[in-house]
Amino acid sequence: MNSSICALPLTHLQPQNLSLAANTVVSQRLPSTLGLKQQVPLTAALHEQVIAHRNAVRAILDGKDSRLLLVVGPCSIHDPQSALEYAGRLANLSRDVSDQMLLVMRAYVEKPRTTVGWKGLAYDPRLDGSDDMVGGLTLSRELMREMLRLGLPIATELLQPMAAGYFDDLLSWAAIGARTTESQIHREMVSGLALPVGFKNGTDGGVGIACDAMRSAAHPHRHFGVDAQGHPAIIETQGNPDTHLVLRGGHRGPNHDRQNIAQVHHDLAKAAIPVRIMVDCSHANSGKDPLRQPQVFNDVLEQRLQGDRSLVGMMLESHLFEGCQALGPSLRYGVSVTDGCLGWEATEALLRRAAAQLRLHQTTQALA
C-alpha cells in the first residue's frame, strides 16, 4: 500500500513548473485527412478498383487464388517522374504475368531512420531539409493516385500513424516494419485498417514479436487517435483478420531457407495464427546486397514449387537502375537514394522467368 504518500495540492503545480512543450514549436498546421482526401479525391471507379485489389490480395492470403503476391518497387520514392515511369513499366509487365502473379507497386513515401537522415517524400519532397510536409503529403497522395490510374495495386509502409489516414483509401496492402511491429500504437492502427497488412519479423530474426502483433491487430481496440476532421478522439476498431508475416532476416542472417521456414510453420501454428508467409528478398535476407535478391527469390520460388503453399508472396526492392546514391545537388535519374535496388531489366527478367516456371508447373500438375 502507498498510504504514506501524500497528494500535493493542485496549487503546487505553478506554471513555471510546467514547461511541457519547451522543445516543440508548431511551425505549420497540417490539413485534416478528410481535407486532403477531398482535395485529391478518388473517383468512384478508382475506389472500386482499390476494393477489387484488396479482395485479390485477401484471396491469395486465404489460398483461394493460387497466384503469387509480389510487392515490387523502389526502396523509397524520391522523384515522382522516375517513380511513374517505373510504375508504367510494372503495369505493362503485370498484364503479361497476371495469370501467375499479382504485382503490387511499392510506393514507400516514409522511411525509418536508425539515427537521422532523409525521412521520405511525405516529409521532405524537395530533398533539401525544408521538410514541407504539407506539400509532401499532397504530392504523395497525388502520385499514388496516378499509379492507381495505371491499374496497379499500391503498397506502402505505414510508419507514422498520423500519416496513415492520408493514404489508407489508396492502399491495397501495407507493411509494418521490423522496428515498429512491437509498437502497441501500430498494432492498434492496423486493427482499424480495412486492408491486408504484413508484419515484419523483429530485427533479431525471430517471429515472436510479429506473432504477438498479428494476434493483437486481429482484436478490436479502443485507443487515442485523431478523427478525419483532425480532432483528438477515442477510436474504436473492429480488428483486422487479414494480417500475415513478412520474413526479412535479422542480425543472425537470412531466415528464408527451408530450415527457418519449417520453424516459422511451427511457431505460427503454436500461436494459432494462419500460416501465410511473405519473404522480403532484401534487407538481411540478401545481406543488404541488392544484387543477391534474385538468389533469395529463386530459393523461395523453388520451395513454393515443391509444395509449400504457405509461401504466398515476396517483396523486391527494384528501381529503373541498380544500386543507390547519396543525396546531393546532382542525382542520377531512376537510382535509389536509400537502400540499393535491383535494376528494372534484371527485375523484369526475373519475374518473366518465374512466371514461365509457374506456368510449366501448373501444366505439369494438371497432366499428372
Residue 11 belongs to a domain: no
pLDDT of residue 114: 78
Residue 223 belongs to a domain: yes
Cα(138)–Cα(129) distance, integer angstroms: 17
Residue 339 belongs to a domain: yes
What's the total number of domains in the chain? 1
Residue 318 belongs to a domain: yes
Enclosing domain of residue 195: 31-367
pLDDT of residue 12: 53
Which residues of the chain, if any, have pLDDT below 70? 1-22
290, 332 contact by CB (below 8 A): no
* Model pTM score: 0.93
Cα(106)–Cα(93) distance, integer angstroms: 15
Residue 170 belongs to a domain: yes
pLDDT of residue 26: 81
Residue 7 belongs to a domain: no
- The CATH number linked to 87 is 3.20.20.70
Q: Give the residue carrying C-alpha cell 531489366.
A: 345
Residue 5 belongs to a domain: no
- Cα-Cα end-to-end distance for the chain: 73
Residue 4 belongs to a domain: no
